[in-house]
Structure 1
Amino acid sequence: MGLLRLGAAGVVLGLASMPTFGQRASAVQLPTYSYFTVGTSVSVPDRGGAWLDGVDRAGSGVQSFGSARLLGGTRAFGTGRSAAGVGITATIHDFEALEAGLVDRRVRSTNAAPAGNDAWTARLDEARVSRAGRGVPSVAAINAELGLAEQAADQEAAGWLQRGRQAEEAGKPNVAKIYYGMAARRATGSQRREILARIAGLQPSPEAGQDAKTSETRR
Protein backbone atom coordinates (compact mmCIF):
# COMPACT_ATOMS: atom_id res chain seq x y z
CA MET A 1 0.00 0.00 0.00
CA GLY A 2 2.80 2.34 0.80
CA LEU A 3 4.41 1.85 -2.59
CA LEU A 4 1.16 2.46 -4.46
CA ARG A 5 0.52 5.74 -2.66
CA LEU A 6 3.99 7.05 -3.46
CA GLY A 7 3.57 6.19 -7.13
CA ALA A 8 0.25 8.01 -7.36
CA ALA A 9 1.69 11.06 -5.76
CA GLY A 10 4.52 11.05 -8.27
CA VAL A 11 2.11 10.93 -11.21
CA VAL A 12 0.05 13.84 -9.92
CA LEU A 13 3.15 15.91 -9.32
CA GLY A 14 4.46 15.21 -12.82
CA LEU A 15 1.16 16.21 -14.40
CA ALA A 16 1.05 19.42 -12.40
CA SER A 17 4.52 20.50 -13.56
CA MET A 18 3.96 19.78 -17.26
CA PRO A 19 2.23 23.13 -18.11
CA THR A 20 5.20 25.03 -16.71
CA PHE A 21 7.63 23.03 -18.83
CA GLY A 22 5.60 23.42 -21.99
CA GLN A 23 4.83 27.16 -21.61
CA ARG A 24 5.44 29.13 -24.81
CA ALA A 25 7.82 32.10 -24.93
CA SER A 26 5.96 35.41 -24.78
CA ALA A 27 6.88 39.10 -24.88
CA VAL A 28 5.09 41.78 -22.88
CA GLN A 29 5.42 45.45 -23.84
CA LEU A 30 4.42 48.01 -21.25
CA PRO A 31 4.17 51.68 -22.27
CA THR A 32 5.90 54.26 -20.10
CA TYR A 33 5.14 57.95 -19.90
CA SER A 34 7.51 60.58 -18.56
CA TYR A 35 8.05 64.31 -18.93
CA PHE A 36 10.37 66.97 -17.60
CA THR A 37 10.61 70.74 -17.87
CA VAL A 38 13.53 73.18 -17.86
CA GLY A 39 13.27 76.81 -16.78
CA THR A 40 16.06 79.15 -17.86
CA SER A 41 16.89 82.28 -19.86
CA VAL A 42 19.39 82.68 -22.69
CA SER A 43 20.75 85.99 -24.01
CA VAL A 44 22.10 86.15 -27.58
CA PRO A 45 23.32 89.16 -29.64
CA ASP A 46 21.66 88.21 -32.95
CA ARG A 47 21.21 84.44 -32.96
CA GLY A 48 22.49 81.44 -31.05
CA GLY A 49 21.65 78.16 -29.39
CA ALA A 50 22.30 76.31 -26.16
CA TRP A 51 21.88 72.81 -24.73
CA LEU A 52 19.74 72.98 -21.60
CA ASP A 53 19.34 69.57 -20.02
CA GLY A 54 18.69 65.89 -20.68
CA VAL A 55 17.53 62.71 -18.98
CA ASP A 56 18.89 59.19 -19.63
CA ARG A 57 17.21 56.08 -18.24
CA ALA A 58 18.18 52.39 -18.25
CA GLY A 59 16.76 49.31 -16.53
CA SER A 60 16.81 45.53 -16.64
CA GLY A 61 14.98 42.69 -14.91
CA VAL A 62 14.78 38.90 -14.60
CA GLN A 63 11.70 36.86 -13.69
CA SER A 64 11.57 33.09 -13.04
CA PHE A 65 8.59 30.75 -13.44
CA GLY A 66 8.32 27.26 -11.99
CA SER A 67 10.86 25.35 -9.93
CA ALA A 68 14.50 25.17 -10.96
CA ARG A 69 14.81 21.63 -9.56
CA LEU A 70 11.91 20.24 -11.54
CA LEU A 71 12.30 20.31 -15.34
CA GLY A 72 14.60 23.37 -15.29
CA GLY A 73 11.91 26.07 -14.82
CA THR A 74 11.48 29.14 -17.07
CA ARG A 75 13.15 32.54 -16.95
CA ALA A 76 12.28 35.86 -18.61
CA PHE A 77 14.72 38.70 -19.21
CA GLY A 78 13.94 42.36 -20.00
CA THR A 79 15.96 45.52 -20.61
CA GLY A 80 14.98 49.08 -21.46
CA ARG A 81 16.79 52.31 -22.28
CA SER A 82 15.58 55.80 -23.11
CA ALA A 83 17.11 59.26 -23.58
CA ALA A 84 15.60 62.74 -23.87
CA GLY A 85 17.09 66.19 -24.17
CA VAL A 86 16.10 69.83 -24.46
CA GLY A 87 17.86 72.54 -26.46
CA ILE A 88 16.96 76.08 -27.45
CA THR A 89 17.76 78.32 -30.41
CA ALA A 90 16.93 82.01 -30.69
CA THR A 91 17.10 84.51 -33.54
CA ILE A 92 16.52 88.25 -33.28
CA HIS A 93 14.87 89.65 -36.41
CA ASP A 94 15.60 93.24 -37.41
CA PHE A 95 12.15 94.20 -38.67
CA GLU A 96 13.31 97.66 -39.72
CA ALA A 97 15.94 96.14 -42.02
CA LEU A 98 13.36 93.68 -43.39
CA GLU A 99 10.92 96.51 -44.05
CA ALA A 100 13.60 98.56 -45.81
CA GLY A 101 14.46 95.58 -48.00
CA LEU A 102 10.80 95.04 -48.93
CA VAL A 103 10.32 98.72 -49.78
CA ASP A 104 13.47 98.74 -51.93
CA ARG A 105 12.34 95.60 -53.74
CA ARG A 106 8.93 97.16 -54.38
CA VAL A 107 10.52 100.31 -55.79
CA ARG A 108 12.75 98.30 -58.12
CA SER A 109 9.79 96.25 -59.36
CA THR A 110 7.78 99.43 -59.96
CA ASN A 111 10.60 101.10 -61.86
CA ALA A 112 11.29 98.04 -64.00
CA ALA A 113 10.26 98.28 -67.64
CA PRO A 114 7.09 96.28 -68.36
CA ALA A 115 7.36 93.21 -70.54
CA GLY A 116 5.26 93.21 -73.68
CA ASN A 117 5.07 94.05 -77.35
CA ASP A 118 3.80 97.59 -76.93
CA ALA A 119 6.92 99.66 -77.65
CA TRP A 120 5.15 102.98 -77.13
CA THR A 121 3.97 101.98 -73.62
CA ALA A 122 7.47 100.87 -72.69
CA ARG A 123 8.93 104.20 -73.86
CA LEU A 124 6.30 106.12 -71.92
CA ASP A 125 7.10 104.23 -68.70
CA GLU A 126 10.82 104.82 -69.22
CA ALA A 127 10.17 108.53 -69.62
CA ARG A 128 8.21 108.58 -66.36
CA VAL A 129 10.95 106.97 -64.29
CA SER A 130 13.83 108.87 -65.95
CA ARG A 131 15.06 112.33 -64.99
CA ALA A 132 14.63 113.74 -68.47
CA GLY A 133 12.89 117.11 -68.31
CA ARG A 134 13.28 117.46 -64.54
CA GLY A 135 16.62 119.19 -64.51
CA VAL A 136 19.76 118.22 -62.68
CA PRO A 137 19.51 118.83 -58.90
CA SER A 138 22.02 121.26 -57.46
CA VAL A 139 24.89 120.27 -55.18
CA ALA A 140 23.17 122.08 -52.30
CA ALA A 141 19.98 120.06 -52.78
CA ILE A 142 21.91 116.81 -52.82
CA ASN A 143 23.82 117.79 -49.67
CA ALA A 144 20.56 118.77 -48.00
CA GLU A 145 19.04 115.34 -48.74
CA LEU A 146 22.12 113.57 -47.45
CA GLY A 147 22.12 115.71 -44.32
CA LEU A 148 18.47 114.90 -43.59
CA ALA A 149 19.12 111.18 -44.03
CA GLU A 150 22.16 111.30 -41.76
CA GLN A 151 20.26 113.28 -39.15
CA ALA A 152 17.43 110.73 -39.13
CA ALA A 153 19.95 107.89 -38.73
CA ASP A 154 21.69 109.71 -35.86
CA GLN A 155 18.39 110.24 -34.06
CA GLU A 156 17.49 106.59 -34.43
CA ALA A 157 20.94 105.57 -33.17
CA ALA A 158 20.55 107.90 -30.19
CA GLY A 159 17.30 106.16 -29.27
CA TRP A 160 18.94 102.71 -29.28
CA LEU A 161 21.91 104.14 -27.38
CA GLN A 162 19.60 105.48 -24.68
CA ARG A 163 17.97 102.07 -24.31
CA GLY A 164 21.37 100.47 -24.01
CA ARG A 165 22.41 102.88 -21.25
CA GLN A 166 19.22 102.17 -19.32
CA ALA A 167 19.79 98.42 -19.60
CA GLU A 168 23.41 98.84 -18.49
CA GLU A 169 22.36 100.93 -15.47
CA ALA A 170 19.79 98.26 -14.60
CA GLY A 171 22.55 95.64 -14.42
CA LYS A 172 21.73 93.90 -17.71
CA PRO A 173 24.92 94.10 -19.80
CA ASN A 174 23.80 91.38 -22.22
CA VAL A 175 20.64 93.29 -23.11
CA ALA A 176 22.61 96.53 -23.29
CA LYS A 177 25.01 94.91 -25.77
CA ILE A 178 22.10 94.12 -28.08
CA TYR A 179 20.85 97.72 -28.01
CA TYR A 180 24.38 99.08 -28.51
CA GLY A 181 24.83 96.81 -31.52
CA MET A 182 21.65 98.12 -33.17
CA ALA A 183 22.76 101.67 -32.44
CA ALA A 184 26.19 101.05 -33.96
CA ARG A 185 24.59 99.91 -37.24
CA ARG A 186 22.94 103.31 -37.66
CA ALA A 187 25.54 105.65 -36.12
CA THR A 188 28.45 107.25 -37.93
CA GLY A 189 31.64 109.08 -37.02
CA SER A 190 32.45 109.76 -33.38
CA GLN A 191 29.09 108.45 -32.20
CA ARG A 192 29.82 105.04 -33.72
CA ARG A 193 33.28 104.94 -32.13
CA GLU A 194 31.74 105.77 -28.74
CA ILE A 195 29.19 102.98 -29.06
CA LEU A 196 31.84 100.42 -30.09
CA ALA A 197 33.93 101.44 -27.08
CA ARG A 198 30.95 100.86 -24.80
CA ILE A 199 30.38 97.40 -26.31
CA ALA A 200 34.05 96.51 -25.78
CA GLY A 201 33.88 97.65 -22.14
CA LEU A 202 30.81 95.59 -21.21
CA GLN A 203 31.30 92.67 -18.85
CA PRO A 204 29.05 89.59 -19.08
CA SER A 205 26.47 89.35 -16.34
CA PRO A 206 27.11 86.56 -13.78
CA GLU A 207 23.35 86.13 -13.39
CA ALA A 208 23.06 84.94 -16.99
CA GLY A 209 25.39 82.02 -16.28
CA GLN A 210 23.47 81.12 -13.13
CA ASP A 211 20.14 81.20 -14.96
CA ALA A 212 21.52 78.96 -17.71
CA LYS A 213 22.53 76.36 -15.12
CA THR A 214 19.17 76.42 -13.29
CA SER A 215 16.88 73.62 -14.44
CA GLU A 216 14.01 71.62 -13.02
CA THR A 217 13.63 67.96 -13.91
CA ARG A 218 10.45 65.98 -13.24
CA ARG A 219 9.51 62.45 -13.94
Structure 2
Amino acid sequence: MKTRYLALVFAATIAAPAKAQITYQQTVQLPTFHYFGVSTTVVVPTGGTASLGSIGGSTRTRFDRVGNRSLGTSSFSGSLSMSATVIDLAEMDREVLAEAARRRGADVDVVGRPVDAEPNAVNWLENQRAATYLRRGRTAEAAGQPEVARVFYRKVVKNGNAREKRIAKASLTRIDSAQVARHNEKVR
Protein backbone atom coordinates (compact mmCIF):
# COMPACT_ATOMS: atom_id res chain seq x y z
CA MET A 1 0.00 0.00 0.00
CA LYS A 2 2.82 2.31 0.90
CA THR A 3 4.51 1.76 -2.46
CA ARG A 4 1.22 2.34 -4.23
CA TYR A 5 0.83 5.65 -2.33
CA LEU A 6 4.40 6.68 -3.23
CA ALA A 7 3.82 5.84 -6.88
CA LEU A 8 0.64 7.94 -6.89
CA VAL A 9 2.42 10.94 -5.27
CA PHE A 10 5.32 10.57 -7.72
CA ALA A 11 2.95 10.48 -10.73
CA ALA A 12 1.05 13.53 -9.46
CA THR A 13 4.32 15.44 -8.99
CA ILE A 14 5.38 14.76 -12.56
CA ALA A 15 1.95 15.39 -14.08
CA ALA A 16 1.31 18.68 -12.21
CA PRO A 17 3.60 20.87 -14.36
CA ALA A 18 2.24 19.24 -17.51
CA LYS A 19 -1.10 21.00 -17.34
CA ALA A 20 -2.52 22.62 -20.46
CA GLN A 21 -0.28 25.39 -21.75
CA ILE A 22 -1.38 28.22 -23.98
CA THR A 23 0.28 28.08 -27.38
CA TYR A 24 0.60 31.13 -29.58
CA GLN A 25 0.32 31.13 -33.31
CA GLN A 26 3.55 31.96 -35.11
CA THR A 27 3.88 32.74 -38.79
CA VAL A 28 7.13 31.97 -40.56
CA GLN A 29 7.62 33.27 -44.07
CA LEU A 30 10.12 31.42 -46.19
CA PRO A 31 11.87 33.10 -49.11
CA THR A 32 10.72 32.32 -52.61
CA PHE A 33 12.98 32.18 -55.62
CA HIS A 34 12.21 33.06 -59.20
CA TYR A 35 14.54 32.33 -62.08
CA PHE A 36 14.71 33.99 -65.46
CA GLY A 37 17.10 33.96 -68.37
CA VAL A 38 17.82 35.73 -71.60
CA SER A 39 18.42 33.92 -74.86
CA THR A 40 20.40 36.33 -76.99
CA THR A 41 23.75 37.06 -78.56
CA VAL A 42 25.77 39.99 -77.25
CA VAL A 43 29.04 41.67 -78.12
CA VAL A 44 31.08 42.44 -75.02
CA PRO A 45 34.54 44.03 -75.19
CA THR A 46 37.38 42.26 -73.43
CA GLY A 47 37.30 43.25 -69.79
CA GLY A 48 33.88 44.84 -70.28
CA THR A 49 30.41 44.12 -68.97
CA ALA A 50 27.04 44.22 -70.72
CA SER A 51 23.63 44.20 -69.09
CA LEU A 52 21.37 41.51 -70.55
CA GLY A 53 18.20 42.41 -68.73
CA SER A 54 16.49 42.93 -65.42
CA ILE A 55 13.17 42.24 -63.81
CA GLY A 56 11.41 43.62 -60.78
CA GLY A 57 8.07 44.07 -59.14
CA SER A 58 6.26 44.68 -55.89
CA THR A 59 2.99 43.81 -54.21
CA ARG A 60 1.15 45.46 -51.36
CA THR A 61 -1.69 43.82 -49.45
CA ARG A 62 -3.92 45.31 -46.79
CA PHE A 63 -6.35 43.48 -44.55
CA ASP A 64 -8.66 45.63 -42.43
CA ARG A 65 -11.38 44.29 -40.19
CA VAL A 66 -12.81 45.72 -37.04
CA GLY A 67 -10.07 45.50 -34.43
CA ASN A 68 -7.69 43.62 -36.71
CA ARG A 69 -5.43 45.29 -39.27
CA SER A 70 -2.52 43.97 -41.23
CA LEU A 71 -0.39 45.27 -44.05
CA GLY A 72 1.95 43.22 -46.21
CA THR A 73 4.52 44.38 -48.72
CA SER A 74 6.61 42.26 -51.03
CA SER A 75 9.14 43.30 -53.63
CA PHE A 76 11.63 41.53 -55.84
CA SER A 77 14.25 42.40 -58.38
CA GLY A 78 16.90 40.66 -60.39
CA SER A 79 19.35 41.44 -63.14
CA LEU A 80 21.53 39.55 -65.55
CA SER A 81 24.84 40.76 -66.92
CA MET A 82 27.71 39.30 -68.89
CA SER A 83 31.44 39.95 -68.44
CA ALA A 84 34.20 38.84 -70.78
CA THR A 85 37.91 38.49 -70.18
CA VAL A 86 40.24 36.96 -72.75
CA ILE A 87 43.45 35.56 -71.32
CA ASP A 88 46.12 34.95 -73.94
CA LEU A 89 48.89 33.10 -72.13
CA ALA A 90 51.25 33.21 -75.11
CA GLU A 91 50.88 36.99 -75.32
CA MET A 92 51.46 37.28 -71.57
CA ASP A 93 54.67 35.26 -71.94
CA ARG A 94 55.85 37.53 -74.76
CA GLU A 95 55.12 40.62 -72.65
CA VAL A 96 57.00 39.24 -69.62
CA LEU A 97 60.02 38.27 -71.72
CA ALA A 98 60.03 41.64 -73.50
CA GLU A 99 59.83 43.52 -70.19
CA ALA A 100 62.72 41.49 -68.78
CA ALA A 101 64.76 42.29 -71.89
CA ARG A 102 63.86 45.99 -71.63
CA ARG A 103 65.06 46.05 -68.04
CA ARG A 104 68.34 44.46 -69.11
CA GLY A 105 68.65 47.02 -71.88
CA ALA A 106 68.54 44.36 -74.62
CA ASP A 107 67.08 44.90 -78.07
CA VAL A 108 65.71 41.35 -78.29
CA ASP A 109 64.12 39.06 -75.70
CA VAL A 110 65.48 35.62 -74.77
CA VAL A 111 63.65 34.02 -77.70
CA GLY A 112 65.16 36.50 -80.18
CA ARG A 113 62.09 38.66 -80.86
CA PRO A 114 62.58 42.43 -80.98
CA VAL A 115 61.61 44.05 -77.69
CA ASP A 116 59.74 46.92 -79.29
CA ALA A 117 57.62 44.72 -81.54
CA GLU A 118 54.25 45.99 -82.71
CA PRO A 119 52.00 46.47 -79.71
CA ASN A 120 48.99 44.24 -79.33
CA ALA A 121 45.47 45.64 -79.01
CA VAL A 122 45.64 45.87 -75.22
CA ASN A 123 48.92 47.80 -75.33
CA TRP A 124 47.51 50.04 -78.04
CA LEU A 125 44.50 50.83 -75.86
CA GLU A 126 46.72 51.50 -72.83
CA ASN A 127 48.87 53.83 -74.93
CA GLN A 128 45.76 55.67 -76.12
CA ARG A 129 44.65 56.08 -72.51
CA ALA A 130 48.10 57.29 -71.52
CA ALA A 131 48.03 59.85 -74.36
CA THR A 132 44.63 61.04 -73.14
CA TYR A 133 45.90 61.31 -69.57
CA LEU A 134 48.94 63.25 -70.79
CA ARG A 135 46.69 65.67 -72.69
CA ARG A 136 44.41 66.09 -69.64
CA GLY A 137 47.43 66.66 -67.41
CA ARG A 138 48.68 69.42 -69.69
CA THR A 139 45.22 71.01 -69.77
CA ALA A 140 44.93 70.92 -65.97
CA GLU A 141 48.43 72.34 -65.57
CA ALA A 142 47.62 75.17 -67.99
CA ALA A 143 44.42 75.86 -66.04
CA GLY A 144 46.43 76.30 -62.84
CA GLN A 145 45.39 72.99 -61.26
CA PRO A 146 48.70 71.31 -60.41
CA GLU A 147 47.16 68.66 -58.14
CA VAL A 148 44.80 67.48 -60.88
CA ALA A 149 47.64 67.53 -63.39
CA ARG A 150 49.77 65.47 -60.99
CA VAL A 151 47.08 62.74 -60.87
CA PHE A 152 46.99 62.46 -64.67
CA TYR A 153 50.79 62.53 -65.01
CA ARG A 154 51.11 59.71 -62.47
CA LYS A 155 48.71 57.61 -64.53
CA VAL A 156 50.88 58.23 -67.59
CA VAL A 157 54.01 57.18 -65.66
CA LYS A 158 52.23 53.97 -64.71
CA ASN A 159 50.68 53.09 -68.11
CA GLY A 160 52.42 55.08 -70.85
CA ASN A 161 55.14 54.15 -73.30
CA ALA A 162 58.74 55.22 -72.71
CA ARG A 163 58.39 58.61 -74.45
CA GLU A 164 55.18 59.50 -72.62
CA LYS A 165 56.69 58.40 -69.31
CA ARG A 166 59.67 60.72 -69.83
CA ILE A 167 57.34 63.65 -70.60
CA ALA A 168 55.13 62.89 -67.59
CA LYS A 169 58.12 62.55 -65.23
CA ALA A 170 59.51 65.87 -66.46
CA SER A 171 56.10 67.49 -65.93
CA LEU A 172 55.87 66.06 -62.40
CA THR A 173 59.34 67.40 -61.63
CA ARG A 174 58.33 70.82 -62.99
CA ILE A 175 55.15 70.86 -60.85
CA ASP A 176 57.07 69.80 -57.74
CA SER A 177 59.73 72.46 -58.35
CA ALA A 178 57.07 75.14 -58.79
CA GLN A 179 55.37 74.08 -55.55
CA VAL A 180 58.67 74.14 -53.65
CA ALA A 181 59.40 77.62 -55.04
CA ARG A 182 55.94 78.88 -54.00
CA HIS A 183 56.41 77.38 -50.54
CA ASN A 184 59.83 79.04 -50.16
CA GLU A 185 58.34 82.41 -51.16
CA LYS A 186 55.65 82.05 -48.49
CA VAL A 187 58.23 81.20 -45.84
CA ARG A 188 60.29 84.32 -46.59
Name the larger-Rg structure.
1
Same fold (TM over 0.5): no
TM interval, shorter chain, is 0.3 to 0.5
TM-score with structure 1 setting the length: 0.32
TM-score with structure 2 setting the length: 0.36
